[in-house]
Amino acid sequence: MKYVVCQKPGEFLIKEKEAPIRKENEALLKINKVGICGTDLHAYAGNQAFFTYPRILGHELASEVLEIGENEKGIKAGDKVVVMPYISCGKCIACRNGKTNCCTNISVLGVHGDGGMQEQITVPTNILLPANNLSNDEMAIVEPLAIGAHAVRRANIKKDEFVVVVGCGPIGIGIMKLAQIEGAKVIAIDMVEDRLKYAKEKIGVDYIVKAGDNAVKEIEKITNGDLCTAVFDASGNKYALESCPDYMAHGGRFVLVGLSKGELTYTHPKIHAKEMTLMCSRNATTEDFEHVISVLGQFPTESFITHNVPFTEMIENFDSWLDPKNGVIKATVTF
């Protein structure tokens, strides 16, 4: 069977190997479509943390079952399934407390181990979710939307509260829509006009604000001076992360979803005066995946996936997906 491997930073190769053999408590899957994630882009660029080469990328997977044993979910051969790509140990303090998303021994498909950019793959049965009612496109975006769902759940969003989401990339867009579903009034912030336009016209956010020196004043106008009770950063940009508390109301919550590799600096009296709750949001749990699957009909999948190519053409197109000028929101690869 064929697979695509990131051999080293900046180099993909298409290779062939024997199809995998299913073990007990595993399923053999046929991969139909793979979503391209920020992690994949960073791995290709050579700046992804906790990463080694060569690596088969891909953890946003649309798949169907070729072989599977008896299982609690009643999944059988021929079923379509979403793969929750976080393999947790089930024994550590996080797992024992139901926080499998931040397992101390977590292994993520396509990051710590080989992922789904291959025609077939074997995975543990317990990370599969039935998805016979979803299209391949919908299945391929469940995982990034589940990241947003986890962040929204962490923040305990309430109806009619003002929420700021910084970054109109795939994760930020997911947070916006999922916060709207909870009844929040959403303000989108980004530097790129086209992405703000997408957030307004396709996601239906209530307000858009261009990032920059006037952003705080704009948010003050929108909220009658109150600012926002929940602020999400989905950019991972150092400047954005350090600016986010300025958008937050006294008594508010700041949720770090985007990942920055460096140090962040905050003025303590400034955040202390607001009694800021700072929380990080990492990965997602089964509950988050199930929630996304249940509300996916409210999400504009067709406009969200802006680029798609067969895997045989991925290598020649991948570099272009790194350039914001090409209007990429979500790219996918078909197997």
For residue 66, the enclosing domain spans 2-132+300-334
Q: What confidence score (pLDDT) does residue 318 get?
A: 94
**pLDDT of 49 above 80:** no
**pLDDT of 101 above 90:** yes
- The answer to whether residues 174 and 199 touch, using CB atoms and an 8 Å cutoff, is no
Helix intervals (H) in the chain = 38-45, 93-96, 136-155, 170-181, 193-198, 215-222, 238-243, 268-273, 286-295, 301-304, 314-321
**pLDDT band, residue 46 (cuts 50/70/90):** confident
pTM: 0.96
Same domain, yes or no: 246 and 269? yes
Q: Is residue 294 part of a domain?
A: no
**pLDDT band, residue 232 (cuts 50/70/90):** very high
DSSP string of 17-35? -PPP---TTEEEEEEEEEE
Same domain, yes or no: 206 and 245? yes
Q: Is residue 113 part of a domain?
A: yes
Same domain, yes or no: 306 and 236? no
Q: What is the pLDDT of residues 184-227, one digit of tens each?
A: 999 999 999 999 999 999 999 999 999 999 999 999 999 999 99
Same domain, yes or no: 63 and 155? no
Please, how many CA atoms are within 13 Å of residue 158, restricted to the half-sphere of its CB? 6
Residue 248's nearest CA partner among 209, 266, 275 is 275
Q: Is residue 308 part of a domain?
A: yes
**pLDDT of 48 above 80:** no
Same domain, yes or no: 217 and 98? no
Same domain, yes or no: 270 and 305? no
Q: Is residue 89 part of a domain?
A: yes
d(CA 249, CA 277) in angstroms, rounded, equals: 11
State how far Cα 282 lies from the chain centre: 10
Q: Is residue 259 part of a domain?
A: yes
Mean pLDDT on 35-53: 87
Q: Is residue 293 part of a domain?
A: no
Q: Is residue 155 part of a domain?
A: yes
Least confident of 34-38, 175-179, 257-261: 257-261
CA angle 184, 256, 126 (to 5 degrees): 90
Same domain, yes or no: 105 and 218? no
Same domain, yes or no: 109 and 184? no
Q: What confidence score (pLDDT) does residue 149 get?
A: 98
**What are the angstrom distances between the C-alpha of 175 and each of 31, 188, 272, 286?**
27, 10, 26, 17
Residue 19 is part of a domain; what is its CATH number? Answer: 3.90.180.10
Residue 270 is part of a domain; what is its CATH number? Answer: 3.40.50.720
Q: Is residue 36 part of a domain?
A: yes
**Structural domain count, the chain:** 2
Q: What is the pLDDT of residues 4-29, one digit of tens each?
A: 999 999 999 999 999 999 999 999 99
Same domain, yes or no: 273 and 207? yes
**pLDDT band, residue 260 (cuts 50/70/90):** confident
